[in-house]
Amino acid sequence: MAKTIVQKAFFRASPKELYGIYMSSRRHGAAIGAPASVEARVGGRFGAFGVLSGKFLMLAKDKVIVQTWCSKTWKNIDPDSILILAFNSYRDGTRIELTHVQVPDYDYEGVKAGGPRYYWRLWRKYLSLRQ
């Protein structure tokens, strides 16, 4: 049975900067320390770490990203999941709210741990080096 992951992460950066990092192949790759490919348009493809892929379904600049998401480790019968990233501005930064639906049960714990390990922690490090 598929599961849903909900996470929130706060960054001392603007929604524009964080959205820009995610939507740029160069900056996305630099932030995660791994290859990333981003076609920054609705219908455009997404790839990261050589194992993640997806397609952008909806983009609201500096506000929301909705994309399909799939790992090469998933079974062929598993449908792509849907990843939603909402960028909410606060006085001293931005809170990203992640909702990830249709994650296969057998990979739920790995995907859930992947957000903090491969994105939130690494993005904070990347942002700290730029300031």
pLDDT band at 131 (very low <50, low <70, confident <90, very high): low
Which pLDDT tens digit goes with each residue over 35-68? 999 999 999 999 999 999 999 999 999 999 999 9
Q: Is 124 helix (H, G, I), strand (E, B) or coil?
A: helix
Q: Where are the domains of the chain?
A: 3-130
CATH 3.30.530.20 applies to domain 3-130: yes
pTM of the model: 0.95
Q: How many CB atoms lie within 10 A of CB 92?
A: 8
Q: Write down the pLDDT at residue 52.
A: 96
Q: Give the helix ranges, DSSP H, for 4-120.
A: 15-22, 25-32, 108-114
Place of tokens 């062929």: 76
Q: How far apart are CA 92 and CA 80, in angstroms?
A: 35
**Cα-flanking dihedrals φ and ψ of residue 65, to 5°?**
-125, 130
